[in-house]
Amino acid sequence: MIYKIFRKTEWDELVAQGETAGAPIDLEDGYIHFSSADTVAETAALHFKDQDELILAACDPEAMEADLKWESSRGGKQFPHLYRKLRMEDVSSHWALPLSGGRHLFPDGLL
């Protein structure tokens, strides 16, 4: 699985419209940023610090294979980037990602 962290308004847009081009950074970069299980906690800490009301969405990379590229990014690590809109049917599961004591609480067994 790969993971996308959404702000509540971004998640609500995906649910209402059935697809999204992503957050402002995704629009600026020309692809939708995802994280692996190994990098999603670091992504939350770096890019969503002190932000509450987040949604964590899990997607099957094989279902997006033709439009998904793994590319070097932060510290030379490989990150999945989606070069098309994310559709609601791409989302396998989703969870609230609450903030407690300055840290995001990930679902049990995910990391």
Q: What is the pTM of this model?
A: 0.95
Q: Is CATH 3.20.170.20 correct for 2-97?
A: yes
For residues 14 and 74, the model is more confident at: 14
Mean pLDDT value of segment 48-66: 96
Long-range contacts made by residues 18-23, C-beta under 8 angstroms, separation at least 24?
Answer: 18/87, 18/88, 19/85, 19/86, 19/87, 19/88, 20/85, 20/86, 21/85, 21/86, 22/86
pLDDT band at 47 (very low <50, low <70, confident <90, very high): very high
